[in-house]
Amino acid sequence: LEREEPTHFGAGPAQLPTHVLQQAALDLINYKDIGLGIGEISHRSKDATQVIEDSKTHLKELLNIPDTHEVFFMQGGGTTGFSSLATNLETAYVGKNGKLGKCGYLVTGSWSQKAYEEAHRLRLPAEIIFDSRKYDSNGKFGSIPNESEWSSNLNGDYAYVYLCENETVHGVEWPNLPECIVSNPNIELVADLSSNILSRHIDISKYGVIMAGAQKNIGLAGLTLYIIKKTILNDIQNANQTKLDELNVPVTPIAFDYPTVVKNNSAYNTIPIFTLHIMDLVFQHLKAKGGIKQQEVENELKQKSIYDALDSYPNFYNLPVDKSVRSKMNVVFTLKDSSLDGKFLEEASKLKLTGLKGHRSVGGFRASIYNALTVESVNKLSKFVKDFAEANSK
């Protein structure tokens, strides 16, 4: 069960800590000496229930989750979340107010764009509060306008306002949450943290719902974690079906109905318990190394190392994202001379630096430096970035 420490910068599914996978592999075969693997036992057994409880407890400790919020896990990925967030949150709004609220989206990259499209496709009253491309000097996803430029776009009643904290494809990350949303007691903030959860300190009390797919910072694809304000769960339950029908609110499929999932401790239907166990092993690993505080220190060193390397060759590398909103997880760049693209990847892979190709929609390169990538691994990439520029600059 050994392997050389990988230096894989893929955007997801992403590299996980080797010792976590080693433990998981053992538990897949024979969990706690019961003679069966953790994926082979009933999801309602004592051991499986304990995995669910442990994952919740460890996550609550890591993120300091207050009693006002509940944690649950659901099958599907971020895309499933786009749909379930829209229908559950609209149902909650109707439950509380007896009328429809708008589904507001702050579009800063392709994932928030897709989330908006899904709410619209579900025939909900979806609205783009701003699309950052309209405010960008290049007309691209590469910046986030100042609040003063868009806060006046907010008007009317919102069931929720949605943002994607870290746009994985475009490498744009919100440095702070927008004050005009979090300070408004009538607006529930819904946030996609799929690619930056557990990478930095966050204040849970500011969020109505957090959604995060597992396959980047916390585990394998297949499960998504949710942190939700308990009052939203109550509002969903209080919604009157006749009223919902009258307002044409789509019915949420039962396995994605948040109160049903929570009431059944995330096991209304068969939860992939092995996948959850890996998540919990990642949570335990993070706790043992010093929690979010320590991880944040490492992530700061990593992002500084790679951005400094790229910035020191401005005639060779192009960084399309505005410095103020550069992602600390997904570092996007291109070569000024794209005829060197193939050579860059080839030489990187000779050094076992893999997964660097940019997303197919934007091209160029992307180095994803999620939690599992060590400072040492990122420094290795930074050195390569500098050496390559030195050797190939005209």
Known catalytic membership, residue 216: yes
Written as one letter, the residue type at 392 is N
- Count other C-beta atoms under 10 Å from residue 67's C-beta: 7
The catalytic position among 111, 174, 235, 280 is 111
Tell me the site size for ligand PLP, rule CB under 6 A.
11
**Which CB atom, from 172 or from 378, has the smaller least distance to ligand PLP?**
172
Smallest distance, Å, CB 167 to ligand PLP? Answer: 7
The catalytic position among 192, 235, 257, 280 is 192
Smallest distance, Å, CB 214 to ligand PLP? Answer: 8
Q: Does the protein bind ligand PLP through residue 95 (CB under 6 A)?
A: no
- Count other C-beta atoms under 10 Å from residue 119's C-beta: 26
Angle at 196 between CA 195 and CA 197, to 5 degrees: 105
Q: Does the protein bind ligand PLP through residue 194 (CB under 6 A)?
A: yes
Q: Does the protein bind ligand PLP through residue 118 (CB under 6 A)?
A: no
Smallest distance, Å, CB 321 to ligand PLP? Answer: 15
Q: Does the protein bind ligand PLP through residue 195 (CB under 6 A)?
A: yes
For the stretch 22-27, contacts whose Cβ atoms lie closer than 8 Å and that sit 24 or more positions apart, written own/partner, are 23/281, 24/274, 24/277, 24/278, 24/281, 25/1, 26/1, 27/274, 27/277
Considering only residues 135 to 164 of the shown chain, the ones binding ligand PLP according to CB under 6 A are 164
Smallest distance, Å, CB 287 to ligand PLP? Answer: 24
- Helical (H) or strand (E) element with 58: helix 46-63
Q: Does the protein bind ligand PLP through residue 192 (CB under 6 A)?
A: yes
**Which CB atom, from 168 or from 266, has the smaller least distance to ligand PLP?**
168
Q: Does the protein bind ligand PLP through residue 355 (CB under 6 A)?
A: no
Written as one letter, the residue type at 355 is G
The span from the CA of 293 to the CA of 196, in Å, is 14
| Helices 291-311, 375-392: crossing angle, 10 deg rounding | 0
Residue nearest to ligand PLP (CB): 77
DSSP 231: H
Smallest distance, Å, CB 113 to ligand PLP? Answer: 11
Written as one letter, the residue type at 181 is I
Q: Does the protein bind ligand PLP through residue 259 (CB under 6 A)?
A: no
Known catalytic membership, residue 111: yes
Considering only residues 48 to 87 of the shown chain, the ones binding ligand PLP according to CB under 6 A are 77-79
Measure CA 78 to chain center: 8
Smallest distance, Å, CB 82 to ligand PLP? Answer: 7
Which residue among 87, 168, 266, 327 contacts ligand PLP (CB under 6 A)?
Answer: 168
The catalytic position among 56, 60, 96, 216 is 216
The span from the CA of 147 to the CA of 178, in Å, is 7
Known catalytic membership, residue 60: no
The gap between the terminal CA atoms of the chain, to the nearest Å, is 46
DSSP 142: S
Which residue among 95, 101, 213, 320 contacts ligand PLP (CB under 6 A)?
Answer: 213
Considering only residues 6 to 25 of the shown chain, the ones binding ligand PLP according to CB under 6 A are 12
The span from the CA of 109 to the CA of 128, in Å, is 12
The dihedral of CA 76, 83, 105, 67: what is its sign? negative
- Residue whose structure tokens are 């190709």: 357
Residues of this chain that bind ligand PLP (CB under 6 A): 12, 77-79, 111, 164, 168, 192, 194-195, 213
Active site residues: 111, 192, 216
